[in-house]
Amino acid sequence: MIPGDLNMEKTKVLKISNNLGLHARAAGKIVALANQYESKLFLKKDKDEVDGSSILSILTLSCPKGTEVKVKIVGEDSEAFMESLTELFSNKFGEEP
Amino acid sequence: MTASPDGSKDTMQGIPVSPGIIVGKAHLVDRSTVNILYQYLIDEKQVAGEVERFENAIRSTEEQIRILKSRVPEHVKEHSFILDSHLMILKDSMLRDSTIRRIEEEKINAEWALKKSFHEIRKIFAQIDDEYISNRIQDVESVSERILRNLSGETVENLAEIRERVIIVAHDLSPADTTELNISKVMGFITDVGGQTSHTAIMAQALEIPAVVGLESATARIADRDLLIVDGSTGEVIINPDDADIIRYQEKQLQHEKYKSSIARISHLPAETPDGYRITIKANIEFLEEVAAVRDHGAEGIGLYRTEFLYLRSKVLPTEEELFHDYKEVAEIMNPDPVTIRTLDLGGDKFASHIEIAHEMNPAMGLRAIRLCLKEPALFRTQLRAILRASTFGHVQLMFPMISGVQEVIEAKQILAGIKAELDSEEIVYDENIQVGVMIEIPSAVTISDLLTGHVDFFSIGTNDLIQYALAIDRVNEHVAYMYQPFHPAILRMIRQVVEEGKKAGIKVSLCGEMAGDPLCIPILLALGLDELSLNARSIPLVKTIVRAIPLEQARYDFEQVLQLNTAMEVRDYLLKRMKKMIPELGEKGFFPS
């Protein structure tokens, strides 16, 4: 991988739309997903950016419903990863019909 | 270790501390080893080994959590998510990587490094506004505890994993033990040590489950799973009872329950004697969760909020925010009724692992309560700030424990004034007229109560400690517990003196302590002219029943007679005889001691 290669890095803004917000269970699903991919995941809210494979770090972002999170995925399978992650967010983490 | 697993019938007599009768299986808690957290420095050569030891503990913990998860029944699989999140926390960089980094960089042992990492995470979580998320620190704590246990190689009895309803049989129960308990599975407690005011007693009363303490040899004589009858009103414990015993006790239990519900119906009525004398009845609480029971039982406020629980709940000190939210909630729920918050009374039989306290031969007389707070101003200031900030959310009063002289009151009030100024400059609102009182529980404070009146807004007589200090009785020592005598003429005279000085100075005097909930004491407390009694919520219906049955004039007459008597035994016998005559139905239903 070439550092700074734009194909390796995907960014997107995703919105938290489930009622409970990004609580432990939802954060756990993100971590579980992150563990399936080689790429590194970073989540950013305002100025804080955290490691998306750490459930505790995600919780410290404290994101209620409606929060917009800047997602950055770096690595070879970043595209596939971003696709699944987007789906997880739009599915409201499988919590609501 | 169990001595009599032969299934034969055996009876024991202990100190009854929380009434009610239960028949159930024993769950023996064998806790002979003490869990000490070792902290030591390691050298360069030991680093790799220490990291490996930590990784091994993580692996063992992971295995244990996976086994726990596999045991979760199919229909509640939904809830096993909590265990999944524990597995994630276990490998989380904030916990695992940072601990390894600490071992490598700071050259400290794994337990110490883990503790520091946890502390760090706790600090970050405390700043999160969302209470649901900040409470997840409990999961981090639970995972850290498991790792620590694996590091020390110790298998500690896990009280949280009790699955069926049992009677807990232990040598002693610490506040930490009881917070771990799955309360819904506990029918009652019995312990070898402890007295009327031990933590086990207070806990059992708060939960309204029967308890007998001071049995001396319960853990030696009872085998795990033995059938027990525990009578929390008489202190009797029957091991492996026969059918006749069980039938007899079930009948007694039924009678007790019936009467209890009949007096519960009058709990909302005022505590007023037939000749129109009114006394205020408030409740003592130890946890926020008890507030609901306080209202249900007809209390007119909280006369004593013991604040130690938040300090004992975990190994790190609570933050100002945590304390503030807790106090605020209690104040809001009780509003407009007053809530008297007693500042930290740590020390003595309550041990805090995070404050470095040297081993004391005589902890009840050692560095505790206001003494500790004046010596550790940072600790004190955090709590005072939290109390002041909470004071605008209801009617909050402040009370200092263990005052022995005027000097301590002056120093404590100076610190309080400093904090008020600090809040003013930060433009944080608080109740500027917050009432400040002191506990009268040291004999010297009784003697100089006239001097103290000039410095405080109210007195609250803490009889549990006052009796212990005045009679030189260690209340948790089962060998002298029988000498713990509320009816000792010295105690009655001390209370009288404090009430008289309070009346002269025009300040309110209340009494909190077991005496306020003891049926036999009520006529005396009425005659003494106390403004308030504060007691365990569950005793309020009984106390109100008694107050509403005894004319003040009668109580005054009895008190005059009592003052002529020479010994605690004579006082007690006199009062018992009088009470049985005045309120015979209470005697018949087993509410008076035999």
pLDDT (tens digit, 9 = 90+) per residue, B69-110?
776 666 566 667 778 888 999 999 999 999 999 999 999 989
Q: Is residue A1 part of a domain?
A: no
Q: Determine how many CB atoms are found less than 10 A away from the CB of residue B236.
A: 17
Which string of DSSP letters, residue by residue, matches A38-89? SSEEEEEETTEEEETT-HHHHHHH---TT-EEEEEEESTTHHHHHHHHHHHH
Interface of A with B (CB under 8 A): 21, 23-25, 28, 31-32, 51, 53-57, 59-60, 62, 64
Instruction: Give which of B190, B239, B252 is closest to B16, Cα–Cα.
Output: B190
B135: helix, strand or coil: coil
Contact with chain A for residue B138, Cβ under 8 A: no
Residues of A in contact with B88 (CB under 8 A): 28, 31-32, 55
Q: Is residue A81 part of a domain?
A: yes
**What confidence tens digit (pLDDT) does each residue in A5-35 have?**
556 889 999 999 988 888 888 999 999 999 9
A90 belongs to a structural domain: yes
Mean pLDDT to the nearest integer, B271-296: 90
pLDDT of amino acid B38: 65
Catalytic residues of B: 199, 512
Contact A57 B125 (CB under 8 A): no
Task: Count CB-CB contacts under 10 A for residue B494.
Answer: 22
Chain A interface test: which of B77, B80, B94, B95 (most A C-beta within 10 Å): B94
B139 close contact with A: CB closer than 8 A: yes
Q: Which domains does chain B have, with CATH numbers?
A: 10-31+159-261 (3.50.30.10), 44-152 (1.10.274.10), 266-588 (3.20.20.60)
DSSP for B496-512, written as a single string: HHHHHHHHHHT-EEEEE
Q: Does B557 touch chain A (CB under 8 A)?
A: no
3-state DSSP assignment of residue B487: coil
CA distance A32 to B88: 8
Indicate the range of A9-13, B1-5, B329-333 predicted with least confidence: B1-5
**Is A12 part of any domain?**
yes
Could B139 and A24 be called an inter-chain contact, meaning their C-beta atoms sit closer than 8 Å? yes
Domain that holds residue A88: 6-94
Q: Which residue of A59, A60, A63, A95 to mutate against B (max B Cβ within 10 Å)?
A: A59
pTM of the model: 0.58
Which ipTM did the prediction report? 0.84
In residues, how long is chain B?
594
Provide the number of CB pairs (under 8 Å) joining chain A to chain B: 46
**Cβ pair A53:B89 closer than 8 A:** no
Reported confidence tier of residue B43, pLDDT bands at 50, 70, 90: confident
Mean pLDDT value of segment B183-187: 80
Q: Which of A28, A54, A56 is facing B81, going by the closest CB pair? A: A28
CA atoms of A49 and A40, how far apart (whole Å): 13
Contacts of A31 in chain B (CB under 8 A): 88
Whether the per-residue pLDDT at B240 is higher than 50: the answer is: yes
Which positions ≥6 away from B24 have C-beta within 8 Å?
B165, B166, B167, B187, B188, B227, B228, B230
* pLDDT higher than 70, residue B349: no
Q: Measured between CA atoms, how close is A83 to chain B, in angstroms? A: 23
Candidate from B92, B128, B129 with C-beta closest to A55: B92
CATH number at residue A52: 3.30.1340.10
A47 within a domain of the structure (yes/no): yes
Q: Domain for residue A42, yes or no?
A: yes
Contact state of A62 with B85 under an 8 Å Cβ cutoff: no
Contact B400, B409 (CB under 8 A): yes
pLDDT digits (tens, 9 = 90+) for B351-389: 445 555 556 677 778 888 999 899 889 999 999 999 999
Q: Which of B66-70, B135-139, B251-255, B551-555 has the highest mean pLDDT?
A: B551-555
Domain count, chain A: 1
Kindly determine whether residue A55 and residue B89, on different chains, have CB atoms separated by under 8 Å.
yes
**What is the average pLDDT across B171-198?**
75
Residue tagged active-site, from A23, A44, A70, A92: A23
Average pLDDT over residues B490-515: 96
Query: What pLDDT does A6 receive?
Result: 55
Residue scoring higher pLDDT (B360 or B242): B242
